[in-house]
């Protein structure tokens, strides 16, 4: 199945009263796990790679091309609607490289840049991406991070509805990630969400809203957030944590007598990384049900069917 435009997935989510999940991968195992979860749940999905945790030198030396080629290869033949995101690049140039590398959805991590700089870069990205059929997400307002057992909010700021409307109008972005109490990297507890602010942003902004920090987002606030205009949730930290925990447990079972070729990179049941992949898949399937996107793939396909 060819890639689906992200704006189509998000508009159908808004129309259907659910949200699409973006589940961040870092290698072929995690990427395959996300796709397999979506197929198992018959759910539209956004898959991709995040630049935030990756080394700039690696990204700039063919790393983005590598990720794009690998992702497009794995997506080929997927039976559910998929969009392919290069998430939170460090620079405009990296996002532009993503446009040429096969991603159909790109985003710069400009949340803590001066407002004018962020607007200028997002507008330039839109001007380059849209003619190539690539959608653009931006973030306005900045999230705190959960680091070393505490929330670090240095430079964080909740999204102002009026300024968010100006940002969207000036840049032409297709989706807007907002800050309403959500927290990046939060694993110890759940965040406190300002639903009134989210509703006010929705009233001021006419593009689909996105919430990053899905790992620590409270389950019981998901439906209310969707009703307030959220069409996409980003999840990363919980996926990597569950993946790593499963791999470590499997390594603990190693007796030293097994073939290392079976245990590392074989894609066989004995492969340590297959244990991580299974944990990733199970976690994503739970999120797909939580967001209400499970079982919605056919609804999207009917819209694009000739």
Q: What is the pLDDT of residues 232-291, one digit of tens each?
A: 999 999 999 999 999 999 999 989 888 999 999 999 999 999 999 999 999 999 999 999
Between CA 44 and CA 46 the distance in angstroms is 7
Does residue 185 lie in a domain region? yes
Number of domain units in the chain: 1
> In the predicted model, what is the mean pLDDT of the chain?
95
- CATH code where residue 87 lies: 3.20.20.70
Instruction: Decide if 119 is inside a domain.
Output: yes
For 158-187, write each residue's pLDDT tens digit.
999 999 999 999 999 999 999 999 888 878
Label residue 156 by pLDDT band (50, 70, 90): confident
Q: Is 60 annotated as a binding residue?
A: no
Question: What one-character DSSP code corresponds to residue 42?
Answer: T
Span 29-46, mean pLDDT?
A: 98
pTM summary value: 0.95
Residue 1 included in any domain: no
- Ranges of H-type helices in the chain: 6-16, 28-41, 56-58, 64-75, 92-100, 115-129, 161-171, 195-204, 222-227, 237-251, 260-263, 272-290, 297-304
Quick one: average pLDDT of 207-219?
95
Residue 292 confidence class, pLDDT cut points 50, 70, 90: very high
Q: Is residue 107, in this structure, part of any structural domain at all? A: yes
- Per-residue tokens: 116: 């004018």
pLDDT reading at 31 higher than 70: yes
Whether 37 is in a domain gets the answer yes
Q: For residue 172, which of 207, 132, 133 has the smallest C-alpha distance?
A: 207
Residue 241 lies in a domain: yes
Is 66 annotated for ligand binding? no
Q: Is residue 296 part of a domain?
A: yes
The answer to the question of whether 109 is labelled as a binding residue is yes
Give the domain range for residue 140.
6-304
pLDDT at position 229, please? 95
Residue 306 has pLDDT above 70, yes or no: no
262 is in an annotated binding site: no
Q: How confident is the model at residue 146 (pLDDT cuts 50, 70, 90)?
A: confident
């Amino acid at each position: 199945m060819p890639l689906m435009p992200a704006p189509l997935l998000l508009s159908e989510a808004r129309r259907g009263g659910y949200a699409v999940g973006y589940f961040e991968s870092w290698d072929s195992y995690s990427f395959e796990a996300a796709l397999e979860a979506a197929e198992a749940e018959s759910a539209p999905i956004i898959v991709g790679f995040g630049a935030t945790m990756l080394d700039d030198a690696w990204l700039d030396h063919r790393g983005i091309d590598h990720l794009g080629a690998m992702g497009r290869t794995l997506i080929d033949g997927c039976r559910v609607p998929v969009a392919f995101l290069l998430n939170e690049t460090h620079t405009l140039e990296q996002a532009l490289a993503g446009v040429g590398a096969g991603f159909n959805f790109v985003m710069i991590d400009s949340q803590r840049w001066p407002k004018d700089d962020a607007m200028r870069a997002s507008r330039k990205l839109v001007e380059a991406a849209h003619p190539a059929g690539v959608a653009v997400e931006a973030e306005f307002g900045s999230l705190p991070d959960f680091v070393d057992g505490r929330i670090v909010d240095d430079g964080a700021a909740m999204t102002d509805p009026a300024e968010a409307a100006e940002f969207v109008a000036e840049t032409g972005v297709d989706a807007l990630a907002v800050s309403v109490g959500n927290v990046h990297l939060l694993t110890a507890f759940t965040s406190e969400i300002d639903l009134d602010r989210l509703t006010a942003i929705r009233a001021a902004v006419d593009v689909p809203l996105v919430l990053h920090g899905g790992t620590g987002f409270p389950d019981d606030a998901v439906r209310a957030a969707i009703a307030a205009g959220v069409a996409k949730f980003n999840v990363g930290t919980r996926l990597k944590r569950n993946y790593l925990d499963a791999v470590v447990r499997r390594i603990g079972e190693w007796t030293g007598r097994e073939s290392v070729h079976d245990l590392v990179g074989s894609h066989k049941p004995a492969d340590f990384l297959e244990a991580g992949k299974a944990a990733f898949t199970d976690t994503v399937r739970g999120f797909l049900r939580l967001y209400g996107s499970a079982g919605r793939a056919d609804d999207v396909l009917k819209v694009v069917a000739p």
